[in-house]
Homo-oligomer: A and B are copies of this chain.
Amino acid sequence: MDLDSVRRLLERGEEEIENNSIDAVSSKTEFFDHLTLQGIQIDVIEPGRIVCSMKVPRCLVNSDDNFLHGGVTATLVDIVGALTMYTVGAQTTGVSVEINVTYLDAAFPDEEIEIVGKVLRVGKAIGVASVELRNKKTGKIFAQGRHTKYLAVSSKL
């Protein structure tokens, strides 16, 4: 996939979604990507690496503790990891094989976070990217994960 296509996929989340407009995007088929990527900005996109940033949205915190939901963090490892693999020319989107995330700290609403995807390997069959999430100001890492895909299958993309 060329960098512009990857950029467009990531930019789906560019607008911030206010609670009262979730309804507006909820009928799109890519609602869940849209929701979890909301307000995202691309800082760097180059073959093998993506750096993007966003403000933790209030509607994506967990109910116990009021910080970024662990499921959203895992979803960001999923999406940004996949898009990072696409920057080095994967011809197919493949399917996920494994996602893992280690949680190191909390990210609170309105905090600016930075998400860094880095290709570890993209072969014909197996692709792997690491994804690190950190506070944009302090650089403090709050989660690190990896996403492994089996790439030798076609999808609709």
Contact = CB atoms under 8 A, between A and B. Distances in A.
Contacts of A148: 97-98, 102, 148
Contacts of A121: 104-105, 141
**Max chain B Cβ within 10 angstroms of own Cβ: one of A32, A96, A105:** A32
Interface residues of A, number: 59
A112 B101 CA distance: 27
Interface in A66-104: 66, 69-72, 74-76, 78-79, 93, 95-104
The A interface, classified by DSSP as helix, strand, loop or mixed, is mixed
User: Quick one: copies of this chain in the complex?
Assistant: 4
A121 B31 CA distance: 30
Contacts of A144: 120, 128, 130, 146
Contact of A106 (B19, B23, B33, B95): B95
A100 B101 contact: yes
15 contacts: A22-B23, A22-B26, A30-B62, A32-B60, A32-B69, A33-B63, A35-B35, A64-B156, A65-B95, A66-B156, A71-B71, A71-B76, A97-B98, A98-B102, A99-B101
Given A32-B72, A98-B98, 6 more contacts: A20-B23, A71-B76, A71-B79, A97-B98, A98-B101, A98-B102
